[in-house]
Structure 1
């Protein structure tokens, strides 16, 4: 092993401290295509190096370490690439391969690679180049079935599992019954929630001064109240509305309090199956957090609400976004 290998092992510390040099070390260890090729072609390495350098420059401009990258950050990066969908996906695949190396020794069981998650998220704007998938919604009967499940009795026997079950139901409730997206749910604090005579959720974007508020449907309010009861009963620490655990977890010397975005996707998928909605939709029609957010807008449109109100409730900066969603909903409803 060379001195270079000793200095730049591909571990989390190396990736965070010097992602470009560590990438070179990582790339030198990757096999090329074909069983007879021991290393990546020089021409391919040049392409990978340029792609990786562009991604690293982008996250460094935002003061984001590689270990902090999640699916939201990756989607935002891909969205800002002035290229077509296949090219964007090539960037995503490279990021996925690198992150697989980064998290290979630390990822929890069931943890999804953030770049893989970016691929699975419906409605991600980076996919809009060269043929985006059509916008999807839950049918009214599917929403009703899901809402009924969210407000049904907690089934877990152990208190910790009751805590988690109530939390997960409230999370899904805020997606489908309040139109929140994953990036809004993760940082929510208890003081963002108002459940008095009028129920409101105040939301802000940490990267701007833009804020908005939304009014959840009654079934989302009830799921949230049940969660707050269990949250208080178990003396949950911190002010995050949906923490990763009852008390902060220290992992690899780092204190973890926030729930990971990929965990929210797994929670959604599990709830869709538990509620019976998956059986109605079939395996060909997944229901992601974005599908649930779209369904919140659909329910408002069904009630005769205007795109202006939907834009206000969902935090769209421009009304045209709600108008496009309305057009997609009409096409979906009439298909």
Structure 2
């Protein structure tokens, strides 16, 4: 058996079907052989070996529980997924990771059958995957460095200013890759929420012509306007993405659309794209706490604290409901530093332009 085939062995020890069979699995094949079809799904997505092993074990546990309950695979309801998570006595982070994995599988299945119900999405919306609240998490300094290095890595085929390619010369993969890196950069370097990033408009970005970049924001609940300065590592990937976006003749004015037709990204897609890039950067490899867009937002606040920005000003920069929220985030950051053995307030980082923001 080759190494490649050895990496894809089902839970019962059998070698799965050929890659062609797996990659072409239809909905009926998923229902009859959910373990083998899942192996094919893993192979198609090219997960790292360690991640694939973990995902396969998670899926196998779900299938075994489903069989013990007399449930037909892939017919689960949101309540049944919640019951499965409760039965495993999982930490909140692992409950959430299970729910997102099931959600991703059903998202794939929805491409095989239109209007297919996604029970994991409903479980997440109903907070069945939440469990008890975890302490507020941040990225470790080394994890920040890995992520910033991934963000600043040269694009495979950068868009040249003097000779921009026409829309036909930009592949969908290049388009999505540039978008995803810029999206990750804005979530970490601007601290935006997922909903804010999904609704962000091109005209809200300042500094497109050069110099410091920032985003003009308005709170939806009270109409308060504020400005979000972007850390320096955001500038290059965001400009590169906007050039690619324009060159591909992307419709609409959303900064991060799902496709060139301008349609908004689904929130679940944002989580998936972020998780993929976190995995590629090596952030998830040895991490015990969950890493999500909220973790990136928390870390953005931490970078402001490290730069000397007062809590009240950080609350303004992140568009928080009140100034007290900034102090709570500061207290959570100090508690997290103590929990992880880091010196309080960590190391100083370069402050973004307009960092005081008060």
What's the TM-score, normalizing by structure 1?
Answer: 0.60
1:318 counterpart (313, 318, 322): 322
> CA contact under 8 A between 2:170 and 2:248: conserved in structure 1?
no
Structure 2: how far apart are the matches of 1:242 and 1:189? 8
1:114 counterpart (101, 110, 121): 121
- 1:142-162 CA-to-partner distances (Å, cap 9, x unmatched) read 111101111112248962211
Deviation, 1:120, is 8.4
Residue of structure 1 equivalent to 2:349: none
Residue of structure 1 equivalent to 2:215: 201
> CA contact under 8 A between 2:304 and 2:314: conserved in structure 1?
yes
Residue of structure 2 equivalent to 1:163: 175
Q: Following superposition of structure 1 onto structure 2, how do residues 67-106 of structure 1 map, counting pairs within 5 Å? A: 105-106=113-114
Structure 2: how far apart are the matches of 1:331 and 1:142? 18
Residue of structure 2 equivalent to 1:10: none
Is the alpha carbon distance of 1:161 and 1:261 closer, same or farther for their aligned partners in structure 2, counting shifts above 3 Å? same
Residue of structure 2 equivalent to 1:184: 196
- 1:235-269 CA-to-partner distances (Å, cap 9, x unmatched) read 11111111110124xxxxxxxx1011111000110
Deviation, 1:112, is 8.3
> CA contact under 8 A between 2:192 and 2:297: conserved in structure 1?
yes
Gaps of 5+ in 2: 1-68, 71-94, 158-168, 340-358
Structure 2: how far apart are the matches of 1:155 and 1:333? 37
- 1:173-220 CA-to-partner distances (Å, cap 9, x unmatched) read 111111001010011110010124332101223454133221010111
Deviation, 1:172, is 0.8
- Number of residue pairs aligned between Structure 1 and Structure 2: 227
What is the DSSP-based 3-state SS (H/G/I as helix, E as strand, rest coil) of the residue aligned with 1:277?
coil
> CA contact under 8 A between 1:204 and 1:212: conserved in structure 2?
yes
Residue of structure 1 equivalent to 2:229: 215
- 1:273-330 CA-to-partner distances (Å, cap 9, x unmatched) read 011111242xx32210000000001111111211011011100121111111100100
Deviation, 1:119, is 7.4
Structure 2: how far apart are the matches of 1:291 and 1:275? 15
Gaps of 5+ in 1: 1-33, 36-88, 249-256
Is the alpha carbon distance of 1:211 and 1:292 closer, same or farther for their aligned partners in structure 2, counting shifts above 3 Å? same
Residue of structure 2 equivalent to 1:297: 301
Deviation, 1:121, is 11
- 1:76-135 CA-to-partner distances (Å, cap 9, x unmatched) read xxxxxxxxxxxxx9xxx9xx99xx9xx9643699x884334447899xxxx6xx952100
* Mean Cα deviation higher: 301-310 or 191-200: 191-200
Residue of structure 2 equivalent to 1:332: 336
State the Cα RMSD in Å: 3.5
Higher relative contact order by CA 8 Å / sep ≥ 6: 1 or 2?
A: 1
Residue of structure 2 equivalent to 1:134: 135
Residue of structure 2 equivalent to 1:152: 153
